[in-house]
Amino acid sequence: GWSKEIWDLAPIAWLLNADWAPSVLEHSPILTDQYTWSIDHSRHLMRIATGVRRNPIFVDLFRKLAGFSTKMA
């Protein structure tokens, strides 16, 4: 079936389980005066999610929400 990734969840998903949001380290780009990106290999590294494994992220999220709701009842 059809599914849609929720990219906003990628940072937290990666913190919980790096397999849920595969990523790479790349040098931070610079926005030029021409509004294009330039690569400077002397700049700091940043982590970029290259994918999001939606299903295990949602299983974990809904399991935690269900556990929270039973504690609040």
What's the per-residue H, E or C state across the chain? CCCCCCHHHHHHHHHHCHHHCCEEEEECCEECCCCCEECCCCCCEEEEECCCCHHHHHHHHHHHHHHHHHHHC
Average pLDDT, the chain: 92
- 4-8, 19-23, 52-56: lowest mean pLDDT where? 4-8
Q: What is the pLDDT of residue 2?
A: 76
